Amino acid sequence: MVTVIFLNLLRSKYNIHQIEVKPGTINELLLQIKEIHPQVVLEDFENSVVFINSIRIVHPKMYDEVVEDGDEIVFTHFIGGG
């Protein structure tokens, strides 16, 4: 299984802290998340920052990257202000 952690805006909006899903591409993981939590809007992930095992995934095209069994993926948004 893959551990999925939501931080910041996604955690606040959906009240999901952590879930377990089957391995696959990031896009496939998002579909699994949507199936488990139908209230999730996939467009909210378009601007998210993604880390797989603490390594940042920089571009959404990398959502085709495969997440393996035992991996940890974090979805977050950087928040700034002044």
Confidence (pLDDT) at 77: 84
**What pTM does this model have?**
0.88
The pLDDT value recorded for residue 82 is 53
* Domain 2-76, CATH class in plain words: alpha beta
**Gap between the Cα atoms of 65 and 57, Å rounded:** 9
On the CB side of 12, CA atoms within 13 Å amount to 5
| pLDDT tens by residue, the chain, 82 residues | 999 999 998 999 999 999 999 999 999 999 999 999 999 999 998 888 899 999 988 766 778 889 999 999 999 987 765 5
